[in-house]
């Protein structure tokens, strides 16, 4: 009698955990965000630290930069599915949520009203010195602009971006000049 052979497709190699002698702390806040058109993502990922690739995407309207935001990223929440054998559950993915505020309220109503229906954009955000690109998940954009009963409050866009992607985005050095100054043509 022959038995079927099963091949384990799970990764066996675990990268080393590294420790820096003098660690550099990255400070928080979602300081800038970007929407990257799906059709341009592969071109950008050739070298996502190359400012010229970002500028080309911006000029071709394949990348939309929102340079001044405030917000937070939840770090991702694992999605569990049924386990098999001795494993009770298995990680089958992750849901990521980024919330940011855009102070450019009036001039962006049409943008956000349209963006909530789009299904062709990947999402990236910037912390102090690092950019985080969601490579495999398409962004779901949920904008709102609540008005408080406070005469001193500001009306701003409060945007929730949801991405389903198995892994956390790998931080890269923020490309020089991309999120500080740019021209939309």
| For range 55-65, the mean pLDDT | 97
Burial 67-101 (b: 16+ CB within 10 A, else e): bebebebeebeeeeeeeeeeeeeeeebbebbbbbb
**Residue 174 in this model has a pLDDT that exceeds 90:** yes
**What pLDDT digit, counting tens, does each position of 149-170 carry?**
999 999 999 999 999 999 999 9
Confidence (pLDDT) at 10: 67
For 70, phi and psi rounded to 5 degrees? -135, 145
Confidence (pLDDT) at 24: 86
Residue 67 parent element (H or E): none
Domain positions in the chain are 32-173
Confidence (pLDDT) at 20: 83
Confidence (pLDDT) at 185: 45
**What pLDDT digit, counting tens, does each position of 30-52 carry?**
999 999 999 999 999 999 999 99
Question: Within 13 Å and on the Cβ side, how many CA atoms surround 61?
Answer: 2
């Amino acid at each position: 009698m022959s038995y079927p052979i099963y091949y384990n497709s799970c990764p066996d190699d675990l990268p080393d955990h590294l420790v820096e002698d003098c660690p550099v702390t990255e400070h928080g806040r979602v300081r800038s965000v970007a929407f990257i058109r799906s059709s341009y993502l592969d071109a950008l990922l050739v070298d996502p630290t190359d400012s010229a690739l970002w500028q080309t995407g911006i000029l071709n309207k394949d990348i939309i930069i929102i340079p001044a935001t405030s917000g937070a990223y939840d770090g991702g929440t694992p999605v569990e599915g049924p386990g098999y054998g001795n494993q009770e559950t298995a990680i089958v993915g992750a849901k990521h949520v980024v919330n940011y505020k855009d102070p450019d309220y009036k001039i962006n109503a049409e943008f956000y009203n349209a963006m909530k229906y789009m299904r062709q954009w990947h999402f990236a955000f910037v912390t102090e010195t690092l950019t985080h690109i969601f490579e495999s998940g398409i962004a779901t954009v949920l904008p709102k602009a609540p008005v408080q009963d406070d005469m001193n409050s500001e009306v701003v866009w409060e945007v929730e971006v949801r991405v389903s992607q198995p892994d956390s985005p790998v931080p890269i050095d923020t490309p020089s000049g991309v999120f500080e100054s740019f021209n939309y043509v």
